Amino acid sequence: MKTLDNMLAEQMKNDDFREEYQAIQPEMDVIRAIVDARTSKNLTQKELAELTGINQADISKLENGTRNPSVNLLKRLADGMGMALKIEFVPKQSI
């Protein structure tokens, strides 16, 4: 049985797949950061909505990637969780 990591490594050998995967990586990083921050605080989407005044359905859309957040929205999420928002530019890694 293949693991997800094995399957991804196999797919990354395909140039078209790798390019597309790398193109969506920043969005996936934002989604993962939101979910990880929320779950680290043991908050449900509903509880986070109550803390931030952001509709729970909108939080769900952010977490499933169907809505792109503004910086102001990310700041509201961070504030609601008692966290600071940090955005970085880092050097690209060569493949």
pLDDT tens for each residue of 51-86 = 999 999 999 999 999 999 999 999 999 999 999 999
Can you give the pTM of this predicted structure? 0.83
Give the alpha-carbon dihedral of 62, 19, 17, 12, to 10 degrees. Answer: -100
What pLDDT is stored for residue 73 in this prediction? 97
Residue in 27, 30, 33, 58 with CA at minimum distance from that of residue 45: 58
Domain 4-80 class, CATH top level: mainly alpha
What pLDDT is stored for residue 2 in this prediction? 75
